[in-house]
Structure 1
Amino acid sequence: MDGLAEIFGVVQQWLFEAAVQRALFALGLGNLLEDGYEATAWFLVGVIQIAVLLAVIGPLQRWRPVEPVLDRATIRTDMLYTVIHRLGVFRIALFFTLEPWFDEAFGALRTEGYGTFHLDQLWPGVTDGAVVSFLIYLVVFDLLGYWIHRAQHQSGLWWRLHSLHHAQRQMTMWSDNRNHLLDDILVDSLLVIAAQLIGVAPGQFIAIVAVTQLSESFQHANLRLWFGRVGERLWVSPRFHRLHHSIGVGHESAGKNTLGGHNFGVLLPWWDMLFKTANFEQRYDPTGVRDQVEQSRDYGRGFWSQQWVGFKRLFGKA
């Protein structure tokens, strides 16, 4: 791991000096060098993730698909979402819009004497080790992710945005980032606030997000795979998460057209087991939202169409 981290650091430094630093100086943004260096890391992580999707998860989908690929156009739209999010376009937009507000708010809190609580300092010499610290923050963020995900389903307003993610009836490894941008802003804002409050270092935060995103891409894959009786209870599998996307099963209460559902875990199924929302049935049902079938509801085809329809749906206009 140390060797891989060293290689990553060398490549990041080279890319930053060869391209990002020069671009910032040319644009008169030399004051953003530190942020540009961090953005370079996000970009490299995204490139690695997409490479893994193409080299590993893609062949697995072709090896054991749940269903044939019939709608390639909607998959191409999902690929656009993936590029926007994984290569940092969405994060750069947040940097120039919301992040200054967060910096100002947390700066004001520190001025008033409210410092950041560092969770990994609970047991000096043990919890502050690199691996232990990473695992602690990973579990904490996963618990937060579980409750955010439940809120997306059980809050009527939030579901109007999040339903776009579930409207994909041709699930593949590209489907994870298929979200309304307002939905992503809400989720990312909550995660950034949590990271600030519990003292996650920027490098650790990037690593946690990278591991989470790659696992989520795998979970959404068109792949007939489960991890066995024990493994299914240790990590979220494609079968476990597909059931969450299944019409009338995963994101509705007891098969009714009401908010609720099963299998909200992001990485760990522990929270679903603990809070009684787990469903470990071995089944592979059609995915989508019930009103697509019963009411022929339109969620949009292309990227901008989906964003506009989602915005109207939020205000009860679609």
Structure 2
Amino acid sequence: MDSFTTDTFTTAWAAVTGWLFETLVQPAFYALGLMDWAEDAYDWLDFGLYGLLTIAVVYLVCRPLEAWRPVEPVADRRAVRTDMVYTFLARLGVLPLVAFVLLASLQSRWEGWLTEAGLLPPTLEELFPPLRAAPLLAFLVYVVVLDFGEYWRHRAQHGFRWWWALHAIHHAQRQMTFWTDDRNHILDDVLAALWFGGIALLIGVPPGQFPFILLVLRLAESMSHANVRLSYGRLGERLIVSPRFHRLHHGVLSAGATGKNYAVLLPVWDWIFGTADWNRRAYPRTGAPGMDETMATGGWLRQQWAGFRRVALALAGRD
């Protein structure tokens, strides 16, 4: 991602956010006597607008594909509407961005302590100086490294009983669509955001590139959950995670640590670590076995409570 693109986007984004804040938010806060919160309100407006942008991009890409060639008709629209609630709550909060900002505020203190101790780890651009002169190459490298981290985070979600107790909500959906991507327990989302934001800071992702990286991976995840009969071909399936490849993961291959197809964007990780299933003809029904009805069809609050209960039982060794 070259500096001209990021600078242009950043300038335009700041202008739109500033106009909305000055026109709508600031007058309302002034009238309510809440100007002490104005700076925080500006930050959340920024986060919220970015969330709306990601939802719009995903919808414009994925919805026409689902209408064109669906794997199955949508039989339970109430369950899909619940997934939409998850999406708007998750992306208007934009947890990864929030985690990135919060961790960044701690990073300066942490780096100061490490510098005094002579232990400051180098960023990728310090390890490979040519990346500084090639922003697009650096962007691609950051995407690959973060995707590698997401692969192992996903495996951990299935490998640890307590984490699977939370992540099972994601796999309980029997009517998978592109909205299903954000169907996660809130604790699962917090852990994922801290994981992703922490790796991004560790490798030195520039703040200007972070939203673009997040958008690429969000679009890839939503696309992989789409209810569309779409394969990328023998070669393409091995380069990018397709809806077919990930649908296998949400079928019978989702069970615990023995699952397959964990990759978010690049299936090469599944190939390297022996967790890939390349069955190009299979479009199985989704929904992990053993899920209770609340986790499959209940509303957002009931599913969140079920997740809290499941993780408590798992930590107590009773599940």
Where on the TM-score scale, by shorter chain, does this alignment land: which range? Answer: 0.7 to 0.9
Q: Distance in 1 between matches of 2:102 and 2:211?
A: 19
Q: Which has the higher contact order (CA 8 A, sep 6+)?
A: 2
In the alignment, which residue of structure 1 is the partner of 2:13? 12
* Deviation, structure 1 residue 20: 3.3
**Native 8 Å contact 1:42 1:206 kept in 2:** no
In the alignment, which residue of structure 1 is the partner of 2:260? 262
Counterpart pick for 2:294 among 291, 298, 302: 298
Q: Are 1:180 and 2:185 matched, yes or no?
A: yes
214 and 315 in structure 1: CA distance in 2 versus 1, 3 angstrom threshold: same
Q: Which moved more, 1:148-157 or 1:23-32?
A: 23-32
In the alignment, which residue of structure 1 is the partner of 2:105? 103
From the two aligned structures, give the one with the greater helix fraction: 2
In the alignment, which residue of structure 2 is the partner of 1:79? 84
**Native 8 Å contact 2:69 2:228 kept in 1:** yes
Q: Which moved more, 1:44-53 or 1:283-292?
A: 44-53
Q: Distance in 1 between matches of 2:104 and 2:239?
A: 35
One-letter amino acid of the structure 1 residue matched with residue 10 of structure 2: G
**Native 8 Å contact 2:6 2:209 kept in 1:** no
* Deviation, structure 1 residue 126: 4.1
In the alignment, which residue of structure 1 is the partner of 2:71? 66
**Native 8 Å contact 1:174 1:217 kept in 2:** yes
In the alignment, which residue of structure 2 is the partner of 1:255? none
**Native 8 Å contact 2:151 2:264 kept in 1:** yes
Q: Are 1:166 and 2:166 matched, yes or no?
A: no
Q: Are 1:138 and 2:146 matched, yes or no?
A: no
**Native 8 Å contact 2:261 2:275 kept in 1:** yes
**TM-score when normalising by structure 2:** 0.85
Q: Which moved more, 1:300-309 or 1:125-134?
A: 125-134
Q: Distance in 1 between matches of 2:108 and 2:8?
A: 33
Render the CA deviation track for 1:128-147: whole Å, top value 9, x for unaligned: 41101101111000111000
Q: Which moved more, 1:183-192 or 1:156-165?
A: 183-192
**TM-score when normalising by structure 1:** 0.85
121 and 89 in structure 1: CA distance in 2 versus 1, 3 angstrom threshold: closer
One-letter amino acid of the structure 2 residue matched with residue 277 of structure 1: T
* Deviation, structure 1 residue 210: 0.8
**Native 8 Å contact 2:244 2:283 kept in 1:** yes
* Deviation, structure 1 residue 89: 5.6
Render the CA deviation track for 1:284-306: whole Å, top value 9, x for unaligned: 001001113xxx55315111111
Counterpart pick for 1:149 among 154, 165, 175: 154
* Deviation, structure 1 residue 226: 0.5
Q: Secondary structure in 2 aligned to 1:289?
A: coil
Q: Distance in 1 between matches of 2:298 and 2:36?
A: 39
Q: Are 1:27 and 2:35 matched, yes or no?
A: yes
**Native 8 Å contact 2:294 2:302 kept in 1:** no
Paired positions, count: 302
One-letter amino acid of the structure 1 residue matched with residue 92 of structure 2: L
Unmatched tracts of structure 1, length 5 or more: 253-257
* Deviation, structure 1 residue 207: 1.2
**Native 8 Å contact 1:127 1:133 kept in 2:** yes
Percent sequence identity over aligned pairs: 41
Unmatched tracts of structure 2, length 5 or more: none
Q: Secondary structure in 1 aligned to 2:138?
A: helix
